[in-house]
Structure 1
């Protein structure tokens, strides 16, 4: 067994939440400000219900105001847009999250673009993606890539400058913003995808390999440069020989742990960081909207 460091996303996320809770406490005490997060859930998707329940619980545990809006799957697009507009205008709401996926008859793009960019704590609005791509510090950064970056910076002692990074996958939610974040940290970044020629060879050159493609155990040991830091964003449910199911990532963990310098497990790696970063983004949004500095806490 290699001595690859297992990056414990669960413990890391717990520390982020503790820091957020302290910031919320200070904002309440010194600024009379309670950050508020509104979560909108349309329909009965079981995975979405679990996510929303966890988000609401953790928002409240950090001392923030949690507002939950559940709507039937047959809500019209216009009714949903009207709800978003009312949240944009509500001064007690600093962050708005519309849980995806939405029913087929509603345009996700339209709904995301309806959210005020400064309240877009998911970081999906085109203004925020543009700010991120141009290296602006004013961008609201998507939660999953932000969590990945925090864990990477911690592992490398703060600086990623000069590292060769490969991102597997080019989605708007993870792949593209991850590439932009790494570029802003002065990495040399390559994005590989389904049309890339010799994808294994590209991956083997990486000091940092981020897998976000949604294919179970796709990344094998011989794809990975010895000592590389491997961040596995994938969450895939597969059937085990005994007929049960289990969660695995896009990386073949048992193989890759033998060659990597550091690796995130699935579950317990990137996943917990996503909600922790959502809470951190809500504090950032509340401070920016009220033109105050974020409290510095240990």
Structure 2
């Protein structure tokens, strides 16, 4: 399967623990392994995690681990000392610990060199360009940056940087971001707990307000919800508290969110869902859709009776 034929051009996140922030230290480089470098937070050894599910395809003595996803996408990790449990043929899921960064494989600083293969490149040890791929909800793109001096760095087109974009946030590689001073906002990347390929369906009837959430990474996760409606017909605006649910599969439903036994006509109900506790008053923002705008952190919906 060639790169262009891969229908899922997204891995679920970055190769470190959710909630942690690592540094985007070098953008696409290496004539063979056309990859990205991510540095550990404090320059010391850091644990490396799988960016997606799959089967361990290769583990080498040169600090390299390669995972094969079911659709033929391979994700590779270099400068990583594998855990003893990571052996060829082992099944892993997103956020399975693979090993720890080490000063091996030619590395003199703690980081992970990450790259992608497809079926046509893995046996040639030559990766393809991941431009356009998503890491969770960060997309690797090529952006024009007039501040870059001609011929600098490893960029194939002078005047361009490889950046990771999440909404209006643009992450550029390097310590000082000297090539990105006109476009960059950060070089720090937090591996957020986000939904992958989600959908939301809020339904309202005279008696019930129900919300069904689906995502390919939902199973086993705790799902939080916030529900609100504005004032209507003399009734004040109101929040409806509901306990979080743990998904037993990739779909979960919150039933009777209004909790009153009946809903009100002529008003729109708003919901916000997240995989972590939700900031107060988020549902009051009255958003019909918010997934892209929040970098995948929240999933918003609305329904009117």
Q: Which one has the largest radius of gyration?
A: 2
Structure number having the greater strand percentage: 2
Pick the TM interval, shorter chain: under 0.3
Tell me the TM-score normalised to structure 2 length.
Answer: 0.25
Higher relative contact order (CA 8 A, sep 6+): 1
Structure with greater helix percent: 1
